[in-house]
Amino acid sequence: MPLLVMKFGGTSVATLDRIRRAAKRVGREVANGYDVIVIVSAMSGETNKLVGYVGETSPLYDAREYDAVVSSGENVTAGLMALTLQEMDIPARSWQGWQVPVKTTSAHASARIEEIPTDNIMAKFGEGMKVAVVAGFQGISPEGRITTLGRGGSDTTAVAFAAAFEAERCDIYTDVDGVYTTDPRITNKARKLEKISFEEMLELASLGAKVLQTRSVELAMRYKVRLRVLSSFEEMDDSAGTLVCDEEEIVESKAVAGVAYSRDEAKMTLTEVEDRPGIAAAIFGPLAEAAVNVDMIVQNISEEGKTDMTFSLPIDQVKRAEKALEEAKARNEIGFSELLIDSDVCKVSIVGIGMRSHAGVAAKMFATLRDEGINIKVITTSEIKVSVLVDRKYLELAVQALHDAFDLDRAA
**359 has a pLDDT exceeding 90:** no
Closest CA to 229 of 285, 275, 176, 289: 176
**143 has a pLDDT exceeding 70:** yes
Position with higher pLDDT, 261 vs 358: 261
At residue 370, what are phi and psi to the nearest 5 degrees? -60, -45
Sign for the CA dihedral angle at 103, 109, 111, 116 comes to positive
**SS3 state of residue 387:** strand
**SS3 state of residue 228:** strand
pLDDT value at residue 206: 80
d(CA 171, CA 174): 10
Residue 121 forms beta bridges with which residues?
Answer: none
- Average pLDDT for 161-181: 93
Neighbours of 396 (CB within 10 A): 17
Residue 388 forms beta bridges with which residues?
Answer: 348, 379
pTM listed for this prediction? 0.82
Question: How does pLDDT run across 12-43, given as a tens digit for each residue?
Answer: 999 999 999 999 999 999 999 999 999 999 99
pLDDT value at residue 304: 81
Question: How does pLDDT run across 194-210, given as a tens digit for each residue?
Answer: 999 999 999 888 876 67
pLDDT value at residue 356: 86
pLDDT value at residue 85: 98
- Average pLDDT for 287-314: 90
- How many Cα neighbours within 13 Å face the side chain of 211? 35
CB 180 within 8 A of CB 258: yes
Of the listed ranges 87-91, 229-233, 251-255, 324-328, the least confidently predicted one is: 251-255
Question: How does pLDDT run across 204-260, given as a tens digit for each residue?
Answer: 888 766 778 888 999 999 999 999 999 888 776 666 899 999 888 887 678 899 999
d(CA 193, CA 172): 15
Closest CA to 134 of 36, 61, 230: 36
> pLDDT-derived band of residue 175, with 50, 70 and 90 as boundaries?
confident
Which residue blocks in 168-317 are alpha helix, DSSP H? Answer: 198-206, 214-223, 279-289
The one-letter amino acid code at 92 reads A
pLDDT value at residue 39: 98
pLDDT value at residue 123: 97
